[in-house]
Amino acid sequence: MNVQEQIKLFETLLVELRVINYYSKDNFDSIEGKAKMYVRKFFGDNSHYLEEFGKIRYSPMIFFGDSDDSYFATSFNSGVKSLCNIITIIIEDLKLSSNYEVAEINEKKTKITTSSTVNGKRNSINTKEIHVLIATPGDLIEERELLLNSLESKFRRSGYEARCGYRIIVRGWEELASQSGYGQDIINNQILSQVDIVLAAFKHKLGTPTKDIETGVDRSKSGTAEELLYAIRNKEVNNPPLGMAYFYIEAPKMSFDSPELKLAMSNWEKLKAFKEEIKDDILYKSFKSSEDLLSTCCEDLVKNIEVYFTEEKSIHKSSNEINPTEADLKMITNYLDSKKFSKITFEGIQKNIHPKFTDNYILGVVEKFPEEITRTKIKGEEAIQNLRRAQ
């Protein structure tokens, strides 16, 4: 779900809340529940917005036996107003997050039919977004839930989005409506064919084999395997999704007396065989916990986006052709402001901000926006002269 769709959900809640009052509040619990659910989905279980929701009071702290309905109505309506205010702030938070642009949702839903590359890099589905499919077998419930609910927000709030210039959109089979058809085929057609990256994680088993619905013959060793192989071995489409894979570091631990031991060992051997099978097709990594997986995925995603995906602007343009993003401008000016002039170097900027910024790009940003460079310590004209001398 992209950011515009997220905003729409919260805006719908505001519309519904406008008709809620103390004397007409039948749907209030449902609306409040949706607000909390959306926050958990888009911002994570530890979001401060959930804490803010919990502070709202919809009834008076003190009341007396002769208190009339208007006394309770005032408190309830005040609580609803507070809820509306928080939702409004959430909407602004989403709008102000890096790389947000007002655009029609339909424009963001462009399907991949034939992908292409530019200068050896991939084109994303949307110039501002990278769609990531989370592919996991059934034994990664906790890890999957964490990736689905927290990967987007951690990527944004930890600065990875600003670093690479892209927002990630996490996708999963959970977003699909119940419908007729073979489940894996529906996932392939409606999600897998439309994503930029397939992020697969495995713990102790490979999963259930998929089949050719017409012949009944096994098609792939599991749904997760099929999705990952679509990314790393696909010869049928130009520029398929990028594949990423992670394997839990520990083998299953079970008692020799367990009736499930034989099945567990069989699943483990199948997973090891698959891992061996793909070792020449993908550089995979290990993880030791849910949080470790989340952190590693964020680090790897930003690196892969920087290396493999087409940037909206070219960072190799000459200085008079520069059209920098606000994020680049802010990062460069903040860095310049933190240094004495004698210590400003292109190498320092490249090392601390972005290794792919060329000297001309950095100089071009400073020359085009000298007023933004002016700070308490430095002036734009001096910064330009100093950087020119450093070339």
Q: Can you give the residue ranges of every domain in the chain?
A: 3-96, 109-308, 319-390
- pTM for the whole thing? 0.54
pLDDT by position in tens, the chain (length 391): 778 888 889 999 988 888 887 777 778 888 998 999 999 888 888 888 888 888 888 887 666 665 666 777 888 888 888 899 899 888 878 876 644 444 443 444 343 333 445 545 566 555 678 999 999 999 999 999 999 989 998 998 888 888 888 889 999 999 888 899 999 999 999 999 889 999 999 999 999 999 998 899 999 999 999 999 999 987 777 778 999 999 999 988 877 777 888 888 999 999 999 999 999 999 999 999 999 999 999 999 999 998 888 554 333 333 344 455 556 666 666 666 665 544 555 566 555 555 545 656 666 666 655 555 544 344 445 555 555 555 4
Residues 6+ apart with CB under 8 A from 58: 75, 76, 79, 80
The dotted CATH code for 109-308 is 3.40.50
Residue 112: its pLDDT value, please?
A: 38
